[in-house]
Amino acid sequence: MQGEQCVNWQPRPANGINKAGMSDTTPARAAAAFHSPDFRRYQLARVMVIIGAEAQALAVAWQIYLITHSAIDLGYTGLALFLPGLIFMLPAGHVADRFDRRHVILVCYSIQVFCTAALFFFALHHIRHILPIYAVLFFIGSGRAFSGPASSALIPHLVPKDHFVNAVTWGATIFQIATIAGPAVGGLLFTLPLHAGIAGAPLVYLFTLVTLIWFLVLVGSLSVRPGRMEHRAASLDVLFAGFRYVRRTPILFGSISLDLFAVLLGGAVALLPIFAQDILHAGPRGLGMLRAAPAVGALVVSFSLTWSPIKRRAGALMLVCVAIFGVATILFGVSRNMVLSLLALVVVGASDMVSVVVRSSILQLATPPEMRGRVSAVNSLFLGASNELGEFESGLTAQWWGAVRAVIYGGIGSLMITGLWSVIFPELRRADELTAEALLNVEALEAAQEVRKL
């Protein structure tokens, strides 16, 4: 397969002994992905940049809410981040397959440095207009639109084939660790009693700038050189290849679209400033705790999955956990107690974590290497729709019905989608082992061959 020789995938030794001479039954197996130096370096870069991004997101949300006190204006932040993904989905996927994925990531995060510097300038000079903030968020979303597919497609280059699911699980674990730390750091920095000129949002943005520079240095030092996966020039057929492949592979289409609609309807992140300020009366630090709570649940589950990975009935488990996600969202909506609200969000994060691991594994293992960028671009669009567009949907419904009803109705919608998808996509319900051999079946291979011929 064209470009496959660039992927450093190695078969598992038949005797069950890894390179370090340790049995696969030892604790070393739980951290197998970290045997790869590039994977260690990349995850160290990710943990810092995600902490910075989460701290920045908290500062932006709190800053906008203090200026406008409007739910719909909070929702517009998600829309500003989502629109670039919609606009640039097709070229972003082609760029990730056409050019060195590492270089794509470096360019995108260099753009984010300038965006964060702009946010720092706005906050430092106490600009009370929110349109410039939305403009910066649009450029941040544009960088994410191109870096997302490249980052997702880069992971298989960093670890051997047999360690891929372990790498996905650890990647999600590290994401959750950073997601816990980010809002907490952001809330702490936002409230530090420093000089009035630098305290609050400007201090948070300075911290984010440091994490972005750290990320650029570490990613620039990676030894992997993926090269080109796709050698054809840009054309409509090449650009749409990822979308056609997803549409013709039910297990992929089912897993991606399930996450889209469940999180789109059930997401409550955009409304957390309202709950923290007006319902739970917890202030900025309470907001940090609420934003971190889903990551706490996800972290617990992700650590358990590194020791005891999903072996059978992965699709059915994913459907059950999405249903739990909906129930926990409803519980958060009806709660008026800070402890109960935090517990509900912990369950939201724990159930979503299982869905993340299953969906991410299906995405890469059921896709040929030379198409991973374009398929990841389709996934990034769906993921952006569920997160950023979901924030806009939350803000809009909160404007209509109020924040509490918006969250409760969203949780009910997630439950309805889960039941419907279990019927529409039986291939997803029957998905068993998370291996390339099990997921990249005859139907998927035929779909890939048809797309290549176009």
pLDDT at 360 over 80: no
pLDDT at 231 over 60: no
Interatomic CA distance for residues 445 and 362, integer angstroms: 14
Q: What is the pTM of this model?
A: 0.64
Taking alpha carbons only, the member of 74, 56, 80 closest to residue 406 is: 74
H and E: helices and strands count for the chain? 19, 0
Identity of the amino acid at 295:
A
23, β-bridge pairs: 17
Residue-wise pLDDT for 249-284, tens only, equals 777 778 877 877 777 676 677 788 888 888 888 877
Taking alpha carbons only, the member of 414, 214, 225, 207 closest to residue 319 is: 414
- Residue 343: pLDDT band with limits 50, 70, 90: very high
pLDDT at 28: 52
25-39, 329-343, 392-406: lowest mean pLDDT where?
25-39
For residue 2, count other CB atoms closer than 10 A to its CB: 13
pLDDT at 176 over 60: yes
Structure tokens at 367: 């896709």
Interatomic CA distance for residues 39 and 50, integer angstroms: 16
Identity of the amino acid at 34:
F
Average model confidence (pLDDT) for the chain? 76
pLDDT at 397: 76
pLDDT at 144: 87
Q: From the options 2.60.120.260, 1.20.1250.20, 1.20.120.450, 1.10.10.60, give the CATH code of 35-221+234-453.
A: 1.20.1250.20
Q: What is the DSSP letter of 387?
A: I
Q: What is the DSSP letter of 308?
A: S
- Residue 391: pLDDT band with limits 50, 70, 90: low
pLDDT at 352: 83
Residue-wise pLDDT for 205-216, tens only, equals 999 999 999 999
Residue identified by tokens 């889903």 is: 294
pLDDT at 21: 40
pLDDT at 340: 92
The three-point CA angle 9-352-246 to 5° equals 55
Through-space distance between the first and last CA atoms of the chain, rounded to whole angstroms: 16
The three-point CA angle 73-75-76 to 5° equals 65
Structure tokens at 201: 């949002």
Residue-range domain boundaries for the chain: 35-221+234-453
- List own/partner pairs for 435-442 with CB under 8 A and 24 or more apart: 435/165, 435/365, 436/161, 436/365, 436/366, 439/251, 439/361, 439/362, 439/365, 439/366, 440/365, 440/366, 440/367, 440/368
130-139, 222-231, 242-251, 309-318: lowest mean pLDDT where?
222-231
Residue-wise pLDDT for 100-159, tens only, equals 888 889 999 999 999 999 999 888 887 778 888 999 999 998 888 888 888 877 877 788
Q: Looking at per-residue confidence, does 127 or 411 come out higher?
A: 411
pLDDT at 23 over 60: no
